[in-house]
Structure 1
Amino acid sequence: MDVDLRKLRYFVAVAEHLHFGRAAAHLHIAQPVLSRQIRALEVELKSQLFDRTKRSTELTRAGEQLLADARPLLASAAALQHRVRQAGRGSETFTVGFMPGLIVTPAVRVLAARHPGLTVDVFRTSWTDQTEVVLDGRVDVSYVRLPVDQQGLGIRPLLAEPRVAVLPLDHPLAAKDGISISDLAAEHLLQPPDAVPEWRDIAVELRSGRPVEAPSVTYTVEEKLEHVAAGRGLSVLPLSTATFYTRPDITSVPIDDIGPNQVCLAWDKTRESPLIHEYVEIATALLEGKGCGD
């Protein structure tokens, strides 16, 4: 049996929303059409994927397994389409993803100098899409900040850097030379809690049972810093990011008792592109100060 990728996309939408109506709206299709497609998929797979009641929709164990397998499969299909279209245009392009605060120019220039016919592009990523863009083919290799889901990825550690708390200038902790993560337990974090697990494990607002403003409403560093300056919360950032986005109405304070942020290169491990491995070696050598001759 061949799995229909369209049905898989429909299934993932329902699994992510756990609501057929919202999933149908996201997919821009009618809800009855979506329900029929999911039933057809269940028949094809001979498994019930959702437990549905009038009040809720939940994944079954079979559904959980399919979701884990469907996401990388859909990403691989998207990457295939991207690379075929690129080849069809007759031009060879290599794209490097990077997180805010990271400078990739030296390695990009070396790769471009070695391959004069190659167009080397860069693509800014964020916490929410830094691995997605690798798996769906938008970038060939990307600088990522851990923790990330490493399923389907090749990973090369590059460097580690301290993390700092970014605070408004009038915050009681702003004048300190260093703080501990426990000092931030009662603060509101302007980023997904899993991005700072040390805070997540002690956060007062996550233990109180009260509704918490979703931190994921602010995706970019610029948005986070606007909210910090307005006194709506704080952000924990790698030192290079905080330094890159210096502004006069906020400050950064080192967090002394949490580990550094690990920066790695990531790529789709199913691909056997010599350019990917060449770029990884160039970037590694430059960071180690070995230099890279053309």
Structure 2
Amino acid sequence: MMVEPGQLRLLALIERHGSLTAAAHVLQLTPAAVTQQVAKAERGWQVPLVVRGPRGATLTAAGALLASYGRTVEDALESAEEELAALLGHLSRRLRIGTFQAAALHLLPPALTTLRHRYPDADVSVVDVVSGTGADEIAAGPLDVAIVASWGTPLAPSPHVRAHPLLVDPMVVVLPDDHPLAAARPADAEIRLEELRDESWVSILAGHAAREQFHDAARTAGFTPSVRFETESYDVAQALVGTGIAVALVSRLALSHAPGTTHRELARPRPHRQLYAVTKNDAGLTPLADLLIDLLRDVARDITATWDAPSGGARPAPEPQLGA
């Protein structure tokens, strides 16, 4: 015999409230539907379970026995509802973020400041992630939002992951401030990559997508770069350029204006990277993730507006409006 927990619960409700009509009200069913369910249970158990009378309904001995188990079902259901509500309440305030260095320094802080003003009780955590692994960590479950980058080609996440475009981050050339090209050109002049064919380079480590993009761009410009120094950090690359021993391609967002350096825009076509916020497709349990993405887009618009401002008249990025 197949035991249906719903039948046990129904008998417990009839016992508690003393009528089929009252049990029907609790279950949000019609009395006729409850009557049909009782008849089905009696056929299944092959024994009378409910005695109907002018003053309501009582249970037979068999019905009372089954109702005792129905009370267990009722208690379990109430506990499940309470614990689920607590879990959803926690998830609605929780936000676990993964990001790489440049985004953590320049993109995330204004967005988090606004979020904390709107939701002071938000449970926010931030961890460093390698950009290339952020989407995988979203799919695996540890993170709610990851800020990642794709060099030159659109991000192609797994079917369980959704990518939200944030900004296009162009590469610029960072030069020692006494470099002949820096001295001979105004600050708003563009440099063609082939003009740097004879330079020593600081580059991102081999095997990284940024390194592959750099070599592809150099190949298109007609030369093979002489990479003298390798690093995983744009900050380190710029510090080395400041010593005067090399030049580097650095993302516009990651410019640190290290002492002894200057930068120039590259002539088109410019290498670039695309920044994304990545979430699960079913991100509804963490509503703060959607808010963070909107705030990140606001910050991204402010940042790119400063990049597009005329040389010498660049305005500082305005802070996002704080919510009530």
Structure 1 position 200, deviation (Å): 1.5
TM-score, normalised with respect to structure 2: 0.49
Map of 2:191 onto structure 1: 179
Q: Distance in 2 between matches of 1:234 and 1:131?
A: 31
| Map 1:50-129 → 2, pairs under 5 A | 93-96=94-97, 97-100=99-102, 101-125=105-129, 127=131, 129=133
The reply on whether 1:220 has 2:236 as its aligned counterpart is no
Identity between Structure 1 and Structure 2 (%): 21
List per-residue Cα deviations over 1:185-230 (Å, max 9, x = no partner). Answer: 44434115731656422536xx999996683xx1122322233234
Would you say the 8 A contact 1:265–1:280 is kept in 2? yes
List per-residue Cα deviations over 1:23-57 (Å, max 9, x = no partner). Answer: xxxxxxxxxxxxxxxxxxxxxxxxxxxxxxxxxxx
Map of 2:297 onto structure 1: 284
Please give the secondary structure, in 1, of the residue aligned with 2:180. coil
The reply on whether 1:201 has 2:216 as its aligned counterpart is yes
Structure 1 position 236, deviation (Å): 1.6
Would you say the 8 A contact 2:132–2:148 is kept in 1? no
Q: Structure 1 182/103 Cα, relative in aligned 2: closer, same or farther at 3 Å?
A: same
Q: Structure 1 292/210 Cα, relative in aligned 2: closer, same or farther at 3 Å?
A: closer
Map of 1:150 onto structure 2: 156
Q: Structure 1 130/184 Cα, relative in aligned 2: closer, same or farther at 3 Å?
A: farther
Q: Distance in 2 between matches of 1:129 and 1:281?
A: 23
Please give the secondary structure, in 2, of the residue aligned with 1:203. helix
Q: Structure 1 179/212 Cα, relative in aligned 2: closer, same or farther at 3 Å?
A: closer
Map of 2:277 onto structure 1: 265
Would you say the 8 A contact 1:169–1:249 is kept in 2? yes
The reply on whether 1:236 has 2:249 as its aligned counterpart is yes
List per-residue Cα deviations over 1:219-273 (Å, max 9, x = no partner). Answer: 122322233234554322232321xx12222221111213454332222436543
Q: Distance in 2 between matches of 1:227 and 1:128?
A: 25
Q: Distance in 2 between matches of 1:105 and 1:280?
A: 13
Q: Structure 1 132/236 Cα, relative in aligned 2: closer, same or farther at 3 Å?
A: farther
Structure 1 position 109, deviation (Å): 2.8
Aligned residue pairs total 201
Q: Structure 1 157/172 Cα, relative in aligned 2: closer, same or farther at 3 Å?
A: same
Q: Structure 1 235/154 Cα, relative in aligned 2: closer, same or farther at 3 Å?
A: farther
Q: Structure 1 185/133 Cα, relative in aligned 2: closer, same or farther at 3 Å?
A: farther
Q: Structure 1 191/181 Cα, relative in aligned 2: closer, same or farther at 3 Å?
A: same
Please give the secondary structure, in 2, of the residue aligned with 1:144. strand
TM-score, normalised with respect to structure 1: 0.53
The AA in structure 1 aligned to 2:156 is Q
Gaps of 5+ in 2: 1-86, 303-319
Q: Distance in 2 between matches of 1:168 and 1:105?
A: 29
The AA in structure 2 aligned to 1:279 is L
Q: Distance in 1 between matches of 2:190 and 2:112?
A: 36
Gaps of 5+ in 1: 1-86
Q: Structure 1 166/213 Cα, relative in aligned 2: closer, same or farther at 3 Å?
A: closer
Larger radius of gyration: 2
List per-residue Cα deviations over 1:162-206 (Å, max 9, x = no partner). Answer: 4311122343333333201222344434115731656422536xx
Q: Distance in 2 between matches of 1:134 and 1:221?
A: 25
Of Structure 1 and Structure 2, the greater helix share is in: 2
Q: Distance in 2 between matches of 1:157 and 1:228?
A: 31
